[in-house]
Amino acid sequence: MVTSSVLFPRVESLSSSGINCIPKEYIRPQEELNNIGNVFEEVEKDGGPQVPTIDLMEIESEDKTVQDKCREELVRAAKDWGVMHLVNHGIPSDLIDRVRKAGQAFFDLPIEEKEKHANDQASGNVQGYGSKLANNASGQLEWEDYFFHLIFPEDKRDLSVWPKTPSDYTKVTSEYARLLRSLATKILSVLSLGLGLEEGRLEKEVGGMEELLLQMKINYYPRCPQPELALGVEAHTDISALTFILHNMVPGLQLFYEGKWVTAKCVPNSIVMHIGDTVVGSFLRATEGENHPQAIDGAGD
């Protein structure tokens, strides 16, 4: 079990305290807020750039023309956007629902129960229940609590950190991790070929089957009394090879594309995939320095 001392209240504690105004540490600079805009208004707009949707069923098509077209679209989306919706990705929708419910069940626990799984960022123990407890360079905090842990390979997991409630958390998360790891191999293979490399090159470069780590972060955005002033996750790029996002059909994800923030529309039964910095380096060398978007999550309301 991992424990830590909490320097700031959990965001959930702030949310449930009845405050009408959020603490100044959570208020974003006005210029940043102006650039991001209102995600709920933005997502309703027609026209403009849209995050690509890739149907992975076509990659397995017996028709080579269909297969090649899908591979080309995936590689183009990776180069142009760095992010995409994946549909027909091979992970059953009922399993994804169970993963979401398991995460929600953990965050439905009383805070004192969740604190039994708290991480200790000061000592370098980042796995477990946490909040962003230290100010960043801009001086603001994120309106988010989270649970973070390594889920694959199985022999590298620390199950003492994993929640015991709900009772099926370990079973559901483990099954999801195995399928997601296979999906990562498929994506890395397509990207390798798209870069003109041998099929297994990118996976080998980022650790291969033995060393490539799969980590999961469950983001929890408690109700915010002033959502127009806060962010759940600030602008960032991911240092990982690939990031797969299970969304709940609530808008909030934004991408910096062609000089402005674009709100991703919610695509049913999709997984959002973001190309991380580890893979971006290979793309930059292959595409002569094309820009790749950053990712940002909006605060929950």
pTM (predicted TM-score): 0.87
41-55 pLDDT per residue, tens = 777 777 778 999 999
Q: Which two tokens stand for residue 236?
A: 């960032």
Residue 237 has pLDDT above 90, yes or no: no
How much is the pLDDT for 137? 60
* Per-chain mean pLDDT for the chain: 86
How much is the pLDDT for 104? 96
Q: What angle do CA 10, 12, 13 make, to 5 degrees?
A: 65
Tokens 């390979």 appear where?
A: 153
Read off the pLDDT of each residue in 103-108 and give the average, rounded to a whole number.
97
- Among 100-104, 127-131, 224-228, 261-265, whose mean pLDDT is lowest? 261-265
Read off the pLDDT of each residue in 135-140 and give the average, rounded to a whole number.
66
How much is the pLDDT for 252? 86
268-292 pLDDT per residue, tens = 999 999 999 888 765 555 445 444 4
Give the residue with greater pLDDT, 7 vs 117.
117
Read off the pLDDT of each residue in 236-248 and give the average, rounded to a whole number.
91
Burial class (CB in 10 A: 0-12, 13-18, 19+), 252: buried
